[in-house]
Amino acid sequence: MTEQELQEQQNVSDTVENILANRERRFMFLTQKDRIDDAIAVADEFYEWFAPEHQDDEDLIQYFCIDELKELYKIKCKESKRKNR
């Protein structure tokens, strides 16, 4: 690969990382505001990006319990706050 190709590849990779980080922040914000349907819509839109190993699994069905999802969110927020101290 040429230097230019490597730079282009890095730029694309950086852009994807920025988009995913932004979508994750948006998901967390919407969940925190108890806008679960909106948060799920964001996650659904970017599911293939977050879990690329499942992008071709057309028969894959995702199930979740809203209460478990909320509890997991609370746990992750607490862990994140502890890390940022």
What gap in Å lies between CA 28 and CA 14, rounded to an integer? 21
Q: Residue 45 has what DSSP assignment?
A: H
What gap in Å lies between CA 50 and CA 39, rounded to an integer? 14
Looking at the predicted structure, is the pLDDT value of residue 85 above 90?
Answer: no
pLDDT, tens digit, 9 for 90 and up, residues 50-73: 666 655 666 555 556 777 878 888
* Top-confidence residue, 64 or 82: 82
pLDDT, tens digit, 9 for 90 and up, residues 24-56: 899 899 999 999 999 988 888 777 666 666 556
pTM equals 0.54
pLDDT on residue 55: 59
Q: Which residues contact 46 (CB under 8 A, 6 or more apart)?
A: 19, 20, 23
